[in-house]
Amino acid sequence: MTQIGRSACDEPLFGVHLGPSAPSERTRTTVVVSGLHPMEWIGIETHLSLLERLIHADLGDRAIICIPLANPDGMLRVEDHLRAGRRR
């Protein structure tokens, strides 16, 4: 996992690159993003399960870029609200 940037509130954003490190003109790239809506945590769990399978798969000429949590600011805000007993 590599830090690929920072969120609006300066939280780190992480991504995983699978497949060929030196893409050719035959390489097809797929981007998988989850964690956009902070209350939908099951998407992140599903993404991590998929990532675990992809790590052991033969991807051939396909490159896959995974970003399991694209909205860490929202996730932290929801966790703070839940701890305080505030629910939507």
pLDDT of 10-29, one tens digit each? Answer: 999 999 999 987 777 788 99
Q: Which two tokens stand for residue 27?
A: 């390489």
**Which of residues 21 and 88 earns the better pLDDT score?**
21
DSSP state of 19: S
Q: Which pLDDT band, with edges at 50, 70 and 90, does 66 fall under?
A: very high
CA distances from 15 to 27, 67, 70, 81, 86 (A): 19, 5, 9, 26, 31
Q: What is the pLDDT of residue 35?
A: 93
* Section 28-37 average pLDDT: 93
Residue positions counted in the chain: 88
